[in-house]
Amino acid sequence: MTLGPVTSSTDVATPAGEETPTIADGKKIEGRSLGRIAWMRLKRDKLAMAGGGFIIFLILVAILAPLINKVLGHPVNEYHQDKIDPNLGGIPPVGTWGGISKDFLLGVQPVTGRDLFSQIIYGAQTSLLIALLATLLAVVIGIVVGVTAGYYGGWVDSLFSRFMDLILAFPLILFAIALISVLPPTKGFRIAVMVLIIGGFSWPYIGRIVRGQALSLREREFVEAARSVGAGSFRIIFRELLPNLAAPILVYSTLIIPSNILFEAALSFLGVGVPPPTPSWGRLLSDAVDYYEYDPMYMLIPGLAIFVTVLAFNLFGDGLRDALDPKSNR
């Protein structure tokens, strides 16, 4: 199965889009897979490529956070009281723009004087870890339930579809606040619970798409052809259906990542996210509410981090959808 950003696909001379291969004289004839054509289409979409570039940059930042912080920042929980202006009740940082200086690239936190740069890059770690794990969980459950419902149809489909409706109608935020606040606030445990909650409630978005696609693919003649040469259900699902489902799955998982990032931020904002002192964008925002009159930069910077990340994922997801399915002109 070749799909999406195939790494070794830069050696194609003919322009993308036109699906009219000419018979190469003497040249080795090689097929162009749909994934490869999509990749060539994606490469021409500047916005999507910018989004994708930012996503890669962000993931690298999250992974290399300790290293980057050593060079450009200060330890996360190091207090710098000398950076706080003692004249204004000991709240706002010294200097303009929230204390941005060569030493503190994004300024310092009010009151404590902790380095905001290190908070942001470690916050990226938290955000991406939870959002990506939750998305992975959602995709796995979504594929299993969606394919089962779509392929088998009948009462299996009815049962699973009603179950998905039930989950989508669930008052998720209230449930999350209630559940998390009664559970012990250790870091690893909280992360696991958040992944389970976010993933466990966002899978129906994938599930519905997969079900619908499987339902229509099942009626295509190539499935009948596979059956007529003796292929079993297992083989049909994995070899015939899933390769065709890869594109929508990829697109919709890219599009639920940003909503999961937002959801993680929302939970942290509401005080039921990862426990302090682990940095989190959502909690930075919620802290900033108390100081925005004195230090607006403190609110602006984590807000921008969330905004740009969500935008990047959405742009990339939209571009991916256009590239994989050129017929869907929104």
CB of 19 to other proteins, least distance (A): 5
> Which residue, 13 or 229, is less far from other proteins as judged by CB?
229
Q: Residue 275, preceding bond cis, omega within 30 degrees?
A: no
The answer to whether 16 contacts other proteins (rule: CB under 8 A) is: no
Nearer to other proteins, 23 or 174 (CB): 23
Q: Check binding of 225 to other proteins (CB under 8 A).
A: yes
Binding mask 118-157 for other proteins (x = CB under 8 A): -------------------------------------x--
* Residues in region 235-254 near other proteins by CB under 8 A: 235, 239-240, 243-244, 246
According to CB under 8 A, which one of 102, 229, 293, 327 is a site residue for other proteins? 229
Nearest CB to other proteins, comparing residues 31 and 171 = 31
Say if residues 195 and 137 touch (Cβ distance below 8 Å).
Answer: yes
Q: Which residue's CB is nearer to other proteins, number 55 or number 223?
A: 223
Long-range contacts of 263-270 (CB under 8 A, 24+ apart): 263/198, 263/202, 264/126, 264/127, 264/130, 264/131, 264/134, 264/194, 264/198, 265/127, 265/306, 266/173, 267/176, 267/177, 267/180, 267/194, 270/173, 270/177
Give the interface size with other proteins as a residue count (CB under 8 A): 30
Out of 181, 224, 292, 326, which residue is the one contacting other proteins (CB under 8 A)? 224
Q: For residue 213, state whether it binds other proteins (rule: CB under 8 A).
A: no
Max Cα distance, the chain (Å): 83
Measured from the CB atom, the residue of 29 and 174 that comes closer to other proteins is 29
Exactly one of 152, 153, 167, 227 binds other proteins (CB under 8 A); which one?
227
What is the b/e burial string over 226-258, where b = at least 16 CB atoms within 10 angstroms of the residue's CB?
A: beeeeeeeeebbeebbbebbbbbbbbbbbbbbb
Nearer to other proteins, 187 or 220 (CB): 220
DSSP result, 122-137: HHHHHHHHHHHHHHHH
Q: Which residues share a beta bridge with 115?
A: 108
The answer to whether 17 contacts other proteins (rule: CB under 8 A) is: no
Is there binding between residue 34 and other proteins (CB under 8 A)?
A: yes
Q: How far apart are CA 220 and CA 263, in angstroms?
A: 38
CB nearer to other proteins: pick between 16 and 72 = 16
Confirm or reject binding of residue 1 to other proteins (CB under 8 A): yes
Structure tokens at 9: 């696909």
44 sits near other proteins (criterion: CB under 8 A): no
Q: How far apart are CA 242 and CA 263, in angstroms?
A: 29
* Burial category of 3 from C-beta neighbours within 10 Å (exposed 0-12, middle 13-18, buried 19 and up): middle
Question: Does residue 101 interact with other proteins by CB under 8 A?
Answer: no
Does position 19 interact with other proteins (CB under 8 A)? The reply is yes
If one asks whether residue 23 binds other proteins (CB under 8 A), the answer comes out as: yes
When asked if residue 105 is in the footprint of other proteins (CB under 8 A), the reply is no
Yes or no: say if 66 and 77 are a contact pair by the CB < 8 Å rule: no
**Contact between residue 30 and residue 58 where contact means Cβ atoms under 8 Å apart:** no
Q: Which position among 8, 87, 232, 327 is part of the footprint of other proteins (CB under 8 A)?
A: 232
Q: What DSSP designation does 120 have?
A: H
Q: How far is CA 224 from the centre of its chain?
A: 36
Q: Which residues bind other proteins (CB under 8 A)?
A: 1, 19, 21, 23, 29-34, 155, 158, 220-222, 224-232, 235, 239-240, 243-244, 246
